[in-house]
């Protein structure tokens, strides 16, 4: 005997629900239709929103000086500024190399990068780019590490672990030059080691005596092996390893003016965020630490060796000064010497840099990287 009733027991209902299974199927179909409709409506409204306000994507990667972009987007600061200028700004996290690829491939509109990569990736690949924000410089974040009290003069002949053709190699070269060891440079034995494995490779094998890397990897190595010492770090070459926000020039020059609005919005949001970090706002710091999964203590330690231009005044002043030109010249000569400007670039002047005062480093008709201080200046004057 069945203790439950079925549709079959009520013939009158059968008209409405011919079968239990069919009924389930119908409900499923209805749900499917609903969801389809909702998706459609969702897409449509998103499209409508996109049509009404231009959308821009900013790519960033994990680094003490760039983590604030994560907090800036999450805390709503960015949205407030974007709304003010009537644009939509999306912030997307990438691996560093991938972010550069995406920027050069024109898949994103703006990207965080160092001054060296700004020259050798987009600029050298003919993608005209503009520096909108000079965010910070590495003030000890990059370091040459060695064990057994090896000195810089003893480096030749020893394998040196580093990610080649990055600021690590630049730092190493500067360390040698500043210590009068220029003539030893060709004798350095560089071992290209991926940043994902450099800590394990260096700590795991004591016969590897020298490594050049960046924080937080530097801190990891120093914490785990007391015998390792820092021989040289980027605090000795201040303002040379700059961390920038670079926007594609054609985006800035969009005829509808939306690119300018985007740059203004992001500059405004950036300086509001940085002011919070400079004021040691606990929320801003923990929000930025969370961007890379670092602990607050570790992130604070990284910030100590990152010189943040915490006011737009300071950043604008530096961008307009003559130091920037001197430092950029060192970097571009390095890039050219190492073939980073391309196999077929005959002269360092083929990838030219335009500065805020109109001065051009390189050939006039080959300007590929522009430093534009106007957004930092507007922020400094409170006109954003």
Q: In the set 263, 277, 291, 340, which binds another protein (CB under 8 A)?
A: 340
Under rule CB under 8 A, how many of the chain's residues touch another protein?
Answer: 37
Q: For another protein, which is the closer residue by CB, 201 or 360?
A: 201
Contact between 156 and another protein per CB under 8 A: no
Which of these ranges, 9-17, 176-184, 236-244, 334-342, lies near another protein under the rule CB under 8 A?
334-342
Q: Which two tokens stand for residue 320?
A: 């307009």
Contact between 323 and another protein per CB under 8 A: no
Contact between 157 and another protein per CB under 8 A: no
Q: How far is CA 156 from CA 176, 182, 198, 212, 221, in A?
A: 10, 11, 20, 14, 22
Give the β-pairing of 110-114 and 129-138: unpaired
Contact between 180 and another protein per CB under 8 A: no
Interactions with another protein, residue window 85-104 (CB under 8 A): 97, 101, 104
Which of these ranges, 121-129, 227-235, 251-259, 260-268, lies near another protein under the rule CB under 8 A?
121-129
Q: In the set 208, 249, 273, 302, which binds another protein (CB under 8 A)?
A: 208
Q: In the set 193, 209, 306, 361, which binds another protein (CB under 8 A)?
A: 193
Give the β-pairing of 159-162 and 210-214: parallel
Which of these ranges, 29-37, 83-91, 201-209, 291-299, lies near another protein under the rule CB under 8 A?
201-209
Q: How far is CA 54 from CA 106, 285, 340, in A?
A: 16, 30, 34
Contact between 158 and another protein per CB under 8 A: no
CA–CA gap between residue 304 and residue 317 (Å, rounded): 22
Residue 214, classed as helix, strand or coil, is strand
Contact between 212 and another protein per CB under 8 A: no
Contact between 217 and another protein per CB under 8 A: no
Q: In the set 11, 204, 227, 382, which binds another protein (CB under 8 A)?
A: 204
Could you tell me the smallest distance in angstroms from the CB atom of residue 28 to another protein? 37
Could you tell me the smallest distance in angstroms from the CB atom of residue 62 to another protein? 18
CA–CA gap between residue 102 and residue 323 (Å, rounded): 30
Cα 106 → chain centroid? 15
Could you tell me the smallest distance in angstroms from the CB atom of residue 334 to another protein? 12
Q: Which two tokens stand for residue 231?
A: 């021989």
Instruction: Tell me whether the omega of the peptide bond preceding residue 204 falls within 30 degrees of 0, making it cis.
Output: no
Q: What are phi and psi of 173, to 5 degrees?
A: -65, -40
Q: What are phi and psi of 230, to 5 degrees?
A: -90, 120
User: DSSP per residue over 275-287, as a string?
Assistant: HHHHTT-HHHHHH
Contact residues for another protein, defined by CB under 8 A: 97, 101, 104-105, 120-121, 124-127, 159, 161, 164-166, 186, 189-194, 196-197, 200-201, 204-205, 207-208, 338-344
């Amino acid at each position: 005997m069945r203790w439950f009733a079925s549709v079959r027991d009520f013939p009158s209902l059968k008209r409405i629900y011919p079968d239990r299974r069919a009924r389930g199927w119908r409900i499923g179909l209805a749900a499917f239709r609903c969801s389809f409709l909702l998706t459609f409506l969702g897409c449509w409204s998103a499209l409508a929103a996109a049509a009404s306000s231009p959308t821009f994507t900013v790519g960033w990667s994990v680094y003490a000086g760039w983590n604030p972009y994560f907090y800036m987007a999450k805390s709503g600061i960015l949205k407030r500024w974007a709304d003010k200028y009537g644009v939509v700004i999306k912030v997307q996290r990438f691996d560093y190399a991938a972010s550069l690829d995406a920027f050069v491939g024109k898949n994103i509109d703006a990207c965080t990068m160092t001054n060296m990569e700004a020259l050798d990736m987009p600029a050298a690949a003919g993608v005209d780019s503009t520096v909108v924000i000079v965010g910070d410089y590495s003030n000890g974040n990059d370091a040459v590490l060695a064990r057994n009290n090896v000195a810089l003069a003893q480096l030749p002949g020893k394998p040196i672990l580093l990610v080649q053709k990055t600021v690590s190699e630049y730092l190493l070269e500067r360390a040698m030059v500043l210590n009068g060891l220029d003539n030893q440079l060709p004798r350095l034995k560089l071992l290209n080691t991926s940043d994902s494995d450099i800590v394990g490779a260096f700590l795991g094998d004591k016969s590897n005596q020298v490594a050049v890397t960046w924080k937080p990897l530097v801190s990891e190595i120093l914490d785990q092996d007391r015998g390792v010492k820092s021989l040289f770090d980027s605090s000795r070459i201040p303002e040379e390893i700059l961390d920038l926000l670079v926007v594609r020039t054609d985006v800035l020059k969009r005829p509808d003016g939306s690119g300018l609005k985007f740059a203004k919005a992001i500059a405004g949001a950036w300086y509001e965020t940085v002011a919070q970090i400079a004021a040691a706002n606990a929320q801003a710091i923990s929000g930025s630490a969370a961007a890379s999964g670092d602990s607050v203590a570790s992130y604070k330690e990284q910030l100590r060796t990152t010189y943040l231009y915490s006011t737009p005044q300071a950043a604008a002043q530096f961008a307009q000064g003559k130091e920037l030109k001197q430092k950029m010249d060192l970097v571009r000569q390095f890039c050219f010497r190492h073939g980073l400007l391309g196999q077929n670039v005959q002269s360092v002047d083929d990838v030219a840099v335009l500065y805020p005062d109109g001065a051009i480093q390189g050939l006039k008709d080959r300007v590929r990287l522009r430093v534009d201080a106007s957004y930092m200046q507007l922020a400094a004057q409170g006109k954003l």
